[in-house]
Amino acid sequence: MKSTLKFNCSNYLFIFFFIISINNNGEAQFGQRPFINITNPTASTVWVKGQTIDIEWDDNISSDVRILLYRGTTPITYISNGTPSDGSFSYTVPNSFVAANDYRIRIFNISGTNVFDYSDFFTISNPPNITVTNPNTGTVWEKGTTQAIQWADNIPSNVKILLFRGSNLEATLFNSTPSDGSAIYFVPFNLPSANNYRIRIVDVSNSNVFGISNFFTITLSPTITISNPTSNTVWTKGQNQTIQWTSNIAANANMRINLYEGGNLVSQIANFIPNTGSFAYSVPNTLNSSSVYRLQIYEIGNSASATYSDFFTIDDNNTKRLTNPKPSHLENIKKTDLIQSLTLNPNPQLSGATSTITIGVNQTSSAILLISDLSGKMIGKQALHLTEGNNQVNLKPILEKGVYFVSIQTPSATKSLKLVIE
């Protein structure tokens, strides 16, 4: 009996479909084309330098894969030169990468490049950072003044600004303010004077991201007002007098009182006395009779606090008062104190701007202009020729914020003013 082998069309179609469904490496499942599909990173992804991130993908291949990082169209580095095609790879982002928004990755099978996928473009950024630039070392905030707090950051969220004294939180200056690099703060009078203040600026969305300033000083600008003697006062030699003053300096501060005749120091009336606001003084009989006496009172160790009384008279008990001396005699005496007035405008002054000092003198004289910081370091010196009347001198701009002393030295006197640079 003769047998006949028969094939129908359905058999041929099955065999043909089976053949084309298998790739060259036999990687695809029956009936599927091989593929790789990257699911992370995406267009909204941000990798932060130093962080460990997960790269994720789907695939249907069995061979290992390579992961290559691009910037734009340029290959940068292999993230992995070979890893199992299990859909995930952990990677620590190097700090050496340039922050940019045109990175992408390519994942492809290790046995060839015919199966691959590119991610969307994504961003690599610097770690979140806040750097306080003002206040800084040497900065002095005076109570009752407005100060600028400044910083640099790379965060999008608001910041909180805290004031510390040593390691203790003194005050919350701003609970939430935009991270735009600057905030204006009025320094209240109730803050203790100290030189160990610091500013701490914190990301409100992540308290682990913060910046802290160097130590700086908050102080009260010293003021002393002498209420006795005044321009109408006459002290009689041999009698007791009460010197009186008011100030914003601590009561336990050590004070010094000097007596001047014109521009000449006559005697030290009191030294290391408490700041009680008054001092009993017995006027010596050995003093000259004169109408150009005045007192100088200041806190020891704080020359910026020095202030002078009005000119007043000391006279003998049995001689004619010198309240109306001959004009020429009074003029000659007062010429020993050349500097009659000293003003700075504007004060406070913005960093890098120019202040003008006006020096009023009663005769032509040479002088020296000195500028120093709080530590006493000299930062400026200029020789001057002063003519009788008001002399205006423009100070060279000072860039660094802080408190400075501007002094005018003449052959017979020195006067100083405090200049605040904001």
The three-point CA angle 40-41-46 to 5° equals 135
Q: Which amino acid is at 14?
A: F
Closest CA to 311 of 239, 260, 359: 260
Residue 345 maps to a domain: yes
Q: What is the pLDDT of residues 285-297, one digit of tens each?
A: 999 999 999 999 9
Q: How many CB atoms lie within 10 A of CB 261?
A: 20
- The last residue of a domain, from among 170, 190, 219: 219
Q: In the prediction, which pLDDT does 328 show?
A: 42
* CA pair distance 273, 299, nearest whole angstrom: 9
Domain containing residue 191: CATH number:
2.60.40.2840
pLDDT for the residue numbered 31: 58
Residue 90 predicted with pLDDT over 60 = yes
pLDDT of residue 177: 96
- C-beta separation of 68 from 105 below 8 A: yes
Q: Of 134, 199, 136, 191, nearest to 162 (Cα)?
A: 199
Do both 296 and 191 map to the same domain?
Answer: no
Q: What is the pLDDT of residue 10?
A: 46
Q: Residue 49 in contact with residue 126, Cβ under 8 Å?
A: yes
Q: Is residue 194 part of a domain?
A: yes
pLDDT band at 412 (very low <50, low <70, confident <90, very high): low
Q: 310 and 203 in one domain?
A: no
Which domain CATH number covers 329?
A: 2.60.40.2950
pLDDT in the model for residue 24: 43
C-alpha–C-alpha distance, residues 141 and 348, integer Å: 12
Q: How many residues does the structure list for the chain?
A: 422
**Do 109 and 155 belong together in one domain?**
no
Q: Is residue 205 part of a domain?
A: yes
- Name the pLDDT band for 203 (thresholds 50, 70, 90): very high
Kindly tell me if the per-residue pLDDT of 374 is higher than 70. Answer: no
- Same domain for 247 and 268, yes or no, is yes
Together in a domain, 95 and 63:
yes
Q: Do 351 and 403 form a contact (C-beta atoms < 8 A)? A: no
pLDDT at 154 over 60: yes
Does pLDDT of 315 surpass 90?
yes
Residue 270 pLDDT greater than 60, yes or no: yes
> Looking at 157, 184, 219, which one is the last position of a domain?
219
Q: Give CA–CA dist 402/149, Å, rounded.
A: 13
Whether residue 200 is found in the same domain as residue 159: yes
Q: Are residues 118 and 26 in the same domain?
A: yes
Q: Are 393 and 352 in contact (CB under 8 A)?
A: no
Highest averaged pLDDT of the listed ranges 105-119, 122-136, 408-422: 122-136
Q: Is 13 helix (H, G, I), strand (E, B) or coil?
A: helix
Beta bridge partners of 259: 267, 295
Is residue 277, in this structure, part of any structural domain at all?
yes
pLDDT band at 47 (very low <50, low <70, confident <90, very high): very high
Rounded to an integer, what distance in angstroms lies between the CA atom of residue 6 and that of residue 61? 38
The tens digit of pLDDT for each residue in 235-269 reads: 999 999 999 999 888 888 899 999 999 889 999 99
pLDDT of res. 388: 84
Residue 25 lies in a domain: yes
Give residue 324's pLDDT band: very low, low, confident or very high (50, 70, 90). Answer: very low
Per-residue confidence (pLDDT) for residue 21, from 0 to 100: 41
Q: Say if 2 falls within a structural domain.
A: no
pLDDT tens string 96-119:
999 999 999 999 999 876 899 999
End-to-end CA distance of the chain: 117
Please report which confidence band the pLDDT of residue 68 belongs to, taking 50, 70 and 90 as the band edges.
very high
Give the whole-angstrom CA distance, residue 257 versus residue 180: 50
Rounded Cα–Cα distance for residues 69 and 51 (Å): 16
Structural contact between residues 281 and 241, judged by C-beta atoms closer than 8 angstroms: yes
> Across the strands, what pairs with 330?
none
0.75 exceeded by pTM:
no
325 and 364 in a common domain: no
Relative to beta strand 378-386, strand 365-373 is antiparallel
Give every CB contact of residue 374 below 8 A, 6+ residues apart in sequence.
138, 140, 217, 402, 403, 404, 405
| Residue 380: pLDDT band with limits 50, 70, 90 | confident
- Look at residue 69 and tell me whether its pLDDT is greater than 90: yes
Return d(Cα 355, Cα 365) in angstroms, integer. Answer: 22
Specify if 5 maps to a domain. no
Residue 3 lies in a domain: no
CA-derived radius of gyration, the chain: 41
Query: What average pLDDT does range 162-186 have in this prediction?
Result: 96
Angle subtended at Cα 220 by Cα 218 and Cα 224, rounded to the nearest 5 degrees: 160
| Last residue within a domain, chosen from 300, 334, 368 | 334
Range of the domain at 209: 130-219
Kindly state whether residues 115 and 15 are assigned to the same domain: yes
Asked if the model's pLDDT at residue 40 lies above 90, the reply is yes
Total domains, the chain: 4
| Together in a domain, 76 and 163 | no
What is the model's pLDDT at position 22?
A: 41
Are both 271 and 168 inside the same structural domain? no
The CATH number covering residue 114 comes to: 2.60.40.1930
321 and 358 together in one domain? no
What is the reported pLDDT for 352? 81
Higher-confidence residue of 284 and 333: namely: 284
Q: Is the dihedral of CA 264, 268, 270, 273 positive or negative?
A: positive
Which region among 208-212, 284-288, 400-404 has the lowest average model confidence (pLDDT)?
400-404
Q: What torsion, rounded to 10 degrees, do the Cα atoms 274, 275, 280, 285 define?
A: 90
